[in-house]
Amino acid sequence: MRKVFVIVFLFLLVEAVFVEALNPSLNDDVLGLIVFKSDIQDPYKKLKSWNEEDDTPCNWDGINCNPRSNRVTEVVLDGFGLSGRISRGLLRLQFLHRLSLAKNNLTGSISVSLAQLAYLKFLDLSENNLSGNIPGDYFQQCGPLRSISLANNKISGQIPESLSSCVTLASLNLSSNQFSGMVPSGIWSLNGLRSLDLSNNLLNGEIPVDIQGLSNLRALSLGRNKFMGEIPDEIGGCLLLRSIDLSENSLSGELPSTMQKLSLCSEFILRRNAFVGIVPEWIGEMKSLQILDLSENNFSGHIPTSIGELESLKVLKVSRNRISGSLPESLSSCVKLLELDVSHNSLAGTIPKTVGQLKSLNILDLSENLLYGIVPVEIGGATSLMELSLDKNSLTGEIPSSVGYCSSLVSLSLSHNSLTGPVPEALAKLTYLQSVDLSFNKLTGVLPKQLGDLGHLSFFNISHNQLQGELPSSGFFNTISPYSVSANPSLCGAAVNRSCSTVMPKPIVLNPNSTDSSPNTVPQSIRHEKKILSISALIAIGAAAVIFVGVIAITVLNIRVRSAAPRSAAAALTFSGGDDFSHSPSTDANSGKLVMFSGDPDFSTGAHALLNKDCELGRGGFGAVYRTVLGDGHPVAIKKLTVSSLVKSQEDFEREVRKLGKVHHHNLVTLEGYYWTPSLQLLIYEFVAGGNLYKHLHEGSGGCFLSWNDRFNIIIGTAKSLAHLHQKNVIHYNLKSSNVLIDSSGEPKVADYGLARLLPMLDRYVLSSKIQSALGYMAPEFACKTVKITEKCDVYGFGVLVLEVVTGKRPVEYMEDDVVVLCDMVRGALEEGRVEDCIDARMQGKFPADEVIPVMKLGLICTSQVPSNRPDMGEVVNILELIRYPSEGQDELV
């Protein structure tokens, strides 16, 4: 490295003399690249082959040379994970043709005028963190540049006028930055341009009439800016255009008829502007159209019958306009159609039977129109259909059983119509079905029991109908929200608080917080109460009963160990010199094996701790925790395991503990060591002084409560710790608020991770017994022996924890005669539009709704009943960062 700094120093101070003393055909390129490397951080060692002692860089990673001259012609370092600034050293590469530094983390402004390189043709600095303005004369000498991409950075200011000098330019991509002002007029005259992408900026002004100067343009993207005015007639002169995206601007007026000349155009996207007039009949002349998106404008009139002439059409969107009339029968000719969205218009008439001829159709959205008549039986012919939305129309008749032939269906929405008859059994054949909304109709009959077998179902709303009988008693329906089945007077079951004639009387539920000592005494309010508990509540109670039995069993198994443990602890820890704790493999009860992962301990001043009740910090499913201080004054927390009869052999135990000892993260409590004898096992952790999250949320007093910023930091810190554990193939198994500790600076530190790995097998009965206090955090797959326990169990527990932090309520709360499950309560509130009622009142309105509500929704997503529907923790971290810093992402969580 010293040699690198010497070379850089010489280059900066005596460049001219140095260059004359070297062979420029070799050393200029080496020198330039080493100078570039000196300003770059390379965390993944991608540039380790770049050795300053080499005579040529032609064998370095990312470097290509001309085989005749051995001069560097290409530097391609895409996705190398590099950070830092772009160095002037690159200007030494006098024969460079291509420079691509895309998909890195480069920062700073574009101050080095790379356009000066006489042979540079391709410049790609996209997907970095470059910022600042580009000097107005930056491209004054752009030589033979053919392609420039600065997309996905944070560059601001105006687009430099000097770009007009790049007469050889064929591709210009400045999208997803913060450019503002008007587009320099000279750019519209670069007749060599084939692709112009200025989308997702802050540009304004009008599209000029001299756009026809771009006669060779193939792709034009100006979407997501502030352009205004009309589309000039002259756009019809750009006959080679294949893609036009003018979406999300303030453009207005009617579509110019000259656009019918664009017979090669395959994508025409005008979404979210203020265009008026009719959708012209000449649209059928644009024979190559594959995507036509006119949604969210002010178009009126009918959908032209000429739409059927677009035989290549795959996507047609005209939603949220003022379209009237009926759907043209000619649509059946668009046999390649994948998506048809005409929702939120004033379409009338019946649904054409020819919809069934569209065998490739994935999405059909006719919602919020004035359609009447029946749902045609022919709908079953759309066998590729994944989303069917016909809600908020005036449809009548029965739901056709032929919908069961749409075997790929994921979402079905028929709400707010006048549909009658039963819910067809054929729905149970749709194994991919996730969301069903049949609410606000006139459906009758009994809900098919087979619907309980749909393994992916996550939403099923049948409220406000005339259904009767008992709800299915399996699958998703075990935890369905009461709101989703409300307003069906003859429906019975736990979710609607109405007993069925075939159902046994309501079981007695004792309040665990009650002080009544007689288990046979039923409170008067319960004795006369006819309400029945929700399915979720019954599951919680049943789980509690199983857990209680398990605790008794474990207690019996450990009586001998518990009686022997104090003697072992005393024998092991009452010593003066520590000789008994040399790293001995002995497993004698009086001479155990102590291992500290860093340094040698001295327990001489803390030997009494394990025998002193005053030093106990708490007890959990796996053991009691005590605070003690080592001889060097270092405080530690020692967990005395109470599962001695269940732990693995010494070899397996030590192997698992050592793995856990290698897991380090600033949001995890560090495992510092362990102690082993056959009858006593200790885990030695760092001591965290700030108490646990449970106490902060539920036992705070004197006005001491967590602000929203505190809560958000705890949520994201916990998420990062779990993501790190999962990267290390460690499942927590026991996430709950009492296992999230808060240090003196308010940072969360997750404890008790991976302890289930110490058991001989991941037996669900044993796990349920050991994590009895995690009732409410346990994923539903714990109750199913055939479903694999994965990291998604932690995701579920994290989702519950998120809801607990936001609402300030416990995961399961026992009322006088009911049990409230937090997930059900929040989900119901969301569906009823009462979101803010769920937020902890102690924050007294001092919270940003644009953060709190998306976080709450994320918590519900994480608690999906189906494991595959839950995100992984890495995705959760990304979403949380996007919620906190939305300007750094493409979209916000909705």
Binding site for ATP: residue ranges? 640
- Give the residue numbers of the binding site: 640
Site of tokens 């008007």: 182
- Which contacts qualify for 212-219: CB closer than 8 Å, 24 or more apart? 212/237, 212/238, 213/188, 213/189, 214/188, 214/189, 214/190, 214/238, 215/191, 215/239, 215/240, 216/191, 216/192, 216/240, 217/193, 217/241, 218/194, 218/242, 218/243, 219/194, 219/195, 219/243
Nearest by Cα to 815 from 565, 526, 588: 526
Q: Report residue 654 as tokens.
A: 């030590």
Amino acid identity, position 226: K
Compute CA distances 342 → 292, 393, 469, whole Å: 12, 13, 37
Amino acid identity, position 213: G
Compute CA distances 508 → 551, 552, 812, whole Å: 22, 22, 18
Is residue 800 exposed (0-12), middle (13-18) or buried (19+ Cβ within 10 Å)? buried
Q: Which residues of 181-209 are buried (b: 16+ CB within 10 A; e: fewer)?
A: eebbeebbbbeebbbbbbbbbebeeebbe
CA dihedral 598, 602, 607, 610 (to 10 degrees): -10
Residues with Cβ within 8 Å of 560's Cβ and at least 6 positions away in sequence, in order, are 645
Nearest by Cα to 384 from 344, 325, 450, 335: 335
Which helix (DSSP H) or strand (DSSP E) does residue 413 occupy?
strand 411-413
Compute CA distances 601 → 471, 524, 580, 653, 673, whole Å: 61, 60, 12, 21, 9
Q: How many Cα atoms within 13 Å fall on the side-chain side of residue 455?
A: 7
Beta strand 131-132 with 122-124: parallel, antiparallel or unpaired?
unpaired
SS3 letters for 825-871? Answer: HHHHHHHCCCHHHHCCHHHCCCCCHHHHHHHHHHHHHHCCCCHHHCC
The beta strand positions in 467-615, using DSSP E, are: 468-470, 490-492, 593-596
CA distance 494 to 450: 18
Sign, CA torsion 451/453/454/459: positive
Query: Running DSSP on this structure, what letter comes out for residue 692?
Result: B
Nearest by Cα to 758 from 669, 610, 673, 658: 658
The beta strand positions in 694-794, using DSSP E, are: 740-742, 748-750
Query: What DSSP letter does each residue of 427-468 carry, written as one string?
Result: GGG-TT--EEE--SSEE-SBPPGGGGG-TT--EEE--SS--E
Amino acid identity, position 495: A
Beta bridge partners of 579: none
CA distance 607 to 573: 5
Amino acid identity, position 586: S
Q: Report residue 758 as tokens.
A: 């110490």
